[in-house]
Structure formats: C-alpha cells, structure tokens
Chain A
Amino acid sequence: MKRILVAYVLIALVTGFMFLRLTDYSFGTTKKNIPLQSEIFKAGDGYGYQIELEDKVLIKQEYIPILEGKRPFTTAQDAERTANKVISKILKKESPILTISELKELQIPEFNQY
C-alpha cells in the first residue's frame, strides 16, 4: 500500500513536470508572444517612434515614413497609431513597409492630400 502511494506521488510529480514543460512549450510556439513594444519620443517640433524587441531597437522613425523631407509626426497620437500598425504587421508576419493608403487609413493628416 505504501509502495503504491509512493508510486502515485512519483507519477504525479513526473506527469506534472511533463505537463508544465508541454504547456510551456506550446505557449512558446503557438502564442508567438514576441515582446514587441513602441516608444514615442519628441523629435524636433513633433514626434517620432521606435519599435523595440525587448531592449533592441528594430525601427527608429524620426520622420514620417514615405514623405519627402524630414517631417516629424504632428502629434504623439499620430506617431503611436503608426507604431502600433507596424507592430501589428510584424506580428502578422507581414512586411513592416507602410503604404500611403495605410497612413491615410490611420488618419495621419499629412496624407489627407493623397
């Protein structure tokens, strides 16, 4: 009886351990929890953003992409909406290229004329 009890405890430990490993593993592979984040910073008389993976900067945008010249975003909100769009594209495994139509959709005022 004692032996069976010990066996039970051992099995519980082993399966518990394996279960933990398994869930850990599946979290890592299915959820693709890439720790991407954006940071908005003051740039000239406006705002820029950077996309970071943990502590590493992947993209730094001091100026509005696509547009000629060095024009920062007018508001921090514009910069943040654009940064979030880039993150969502990377998470969807899409290219992080922003297009004119996407920036229009994000209601970045500089793209109203397009």
Chain B
Amino acid sequence: MKYIYNMKERVNHIRMLTMASLTLCLMASCSSDDDDDDLGNWVDKSVFDGSPRSGSAYFTIGNIGYSGVGYDGDDYLTSFWAYNMDGDYWSQKADFPGTARNAAVGFAINEKGYIGSGYDGLDELADFYSYDPSTNTWTTIAPFPSTPRRSAIAFGINGYGYFGTGFDGDNDRKDFWRYDPSTDSWSELVGFGGDKRRAATTFTIGDKVYMGTGVSNGIYLNDFWSFDSATESWTQKLDLDEEDDYSIVRSNALGFTLNDYGYIATGTYGGTLQSIWEYDPSTDTWESKTDFERTSRQDAVVFTNNVRAFIGLGRTGSLYLDDLEEFFPYDEYDDED
C-alpha cells in the first residue's frame, strides 16, 4: 500500500508539472502574439563570434565586417577579426600594429579600412593605421595632428575620412577634421554648430551622414545633425526628444543604415539600453523598433552594408558578450529564433 501511495503521489506530481508547463506555454504564446508589438526581428547568427570585448573599432567593406582592438576586462587587445556576412563565419586577421587600445574609431574609405585614436589604459592616442583587405596588411598613416582622444566618431564618405568630437583626457571636443588618403594628410573643418561631446554615433544615408547622441559632463545631448558630404556643411535636424514618446537620447550607441533608413540602437542612458529607433530622412521623424533581444549592451559593434545589419560584442556592466544577431526591421517579432 505504501508503494501505491508513493506512486500516486508521483503521478500527481507529474500531472501538476504538466499542467504548470502547459500554462506557462499558453501564457508565453499569448504575450508574444500581441498585435501592438513594434516591428523588427532579431535572428541569432553565431554561437561564438570573434571574442568577448568592448570598445572595439569596426568597419564594413562589401560583405565583410571587420572588428578589432578593444578591452576584454583584463587586457587591451590588438587582435583583429573579419566576419563574413554570407558565410556567417569569422577569421582572425593580421594583428593591429599599434598599441593595444579601446574606444578607437573605425571607418572605411573605398576599399580600405582605418583604425586610430583611442585609449591604451593610460593615455589618449592620436595614431592611425589603414588596413588593406586585399593583402591583409596594415600601413601606418599620418597621425591625427590635434589633441589625442578617445570615444570620438569617424566616418568615411566621398573618398575622405571624417573624424571629430571625443574626449581628450581633460575635456570633451567639438572639432571635426578631414583625412585625405590621396595625400595622407589631415585638415580641420569648420561649421559644426553642435556642442562638444563624447561617445556619439553616426549613420550614412546616400550622400548624407547623420550625427547625434553622446554625452558631455554627464549631460546627454539631444541635438541631431546631418552632414552633406558634397558641400561639407552641417544642418541641424529636429531634436532627438522632439516628440514626447521619443527615448532616443543616449551615449555609446550604435548607428547604422539599412535599406536607406537610419538606426540608433543599444547604448546607455543611466543604465544600458536595448531599444532601437528608426530614422526616416524624408520626414525627419523617428519610430521605435523591437528591442535588441539579448542582454542590453553598450559599446557594441555593427556591421552593415545597407542591405544587411549585424550587431554584437558589447558589454553590460562588467559582463562581456560575444554573440551577434542580424536585424530584420520589417519582420514581425518572433522569439523562437
């Protein structure tokens, strides 16, 4: 009799567990079928990808994303990786030749990538290097002639590199410079009317580069600018808190372009953020998309060629992440993938 009692108890137990898990399943499916959800879906791309690091510099050339240097929590790094978007795999490339660092900038001009500036744990840096994917080699280029700095922004467009803002160790900066690869020289640009800042972000749509976010003296900046690459002039756009339901203001965010829309994703505002906002340049308006699926992050990387976008490698507090996800802005959210 004792055994039968035990058995009954067990059967009951199993029945209860089954009921509980069924209930959970039902609840889960109800919540994910919510029609009010933002559009945009994330698909997990790699089990492992590159290395867990933060403050890496990155750029995309064709269908290959490149990411290098950074800080893994113990060491500043020099390793440099390439992510093949079509094959969804990584390769370790030639080491970055400068001092190990994080908070450097990366940008591409035509078929070459550039990494420079940053922080080596002691000092802000001004040296720059170019990477040629066709030969897997690095070349030292003219160092940035003004104040060394970290957490600056840079972008390549129209055959030039542009570099500006950032933190020089004492102050945030607002100056912008142009790098000309044909003469290997830097020259200062005038006309940026925004405030000094660090950890801002940019994205490029056609021949215009959009710049915003960032922080200075603990104040998150809400101004938003477009840079016309043909005239090298800046135009102020509507503020990032123009509408009451906007929550775009942040620092250490990612900026990228997909199908001629701009995106500002992840970053930090008080705490780290998962949210992602889509910019429509024709109306100068923003729309919220599905939050980044994984742990919220700052100092991540993004590879984008305007057709596909992959986000990964950031940090949440002291936890370094090493996953990468592809963003599909017009798919309904699906938490099964």
Contact = CB atoms under 8 A, between A and B. Distances in A.
A68 B91 contact: no
B92 A70 contact: no
Contacts, number: 76
A69 B136 contact: yes
A57 B11 CA distance: 45
Chain A interface, DSSP helix/strand/loop, else mixed: mixed
A69 B89 contact: no
Interface string A1-22: 0011001101100100000000
Contacts of A70: 135-136
Given A10-B7, A11-B7, A69 B94 contact: yes
Nearest to A10: B7
Interface stretch (B46-54, B110-118, B199-207): B46-54
Interface residues of B, number: 31
B3 A97 contact: no
A95 B88 CA distance: 18
Contact of B51 (A8, A14, A53, A96): A96
A68 B94 contact: yes
A109 B7 CA distance: 66
A97 B92 contact: yes
A60 B136 CA distance: 15
Given A58-B46, A61-B91, A67-B94, A97 B135 contact: no
B52 A95 contact: yes
Contacts of B138: 68
B137 interface: yes
18 contacts: A3-B4, A7-B3, A7-B7, A8-B3, A11-B6, A14-B7, A14-B11, A56-B88, A57-B88, A58-B47, A60-B90, A62-B91, A65-B91, A65-B92, A66-B94, A69-B94, A95-B53, A96-B48
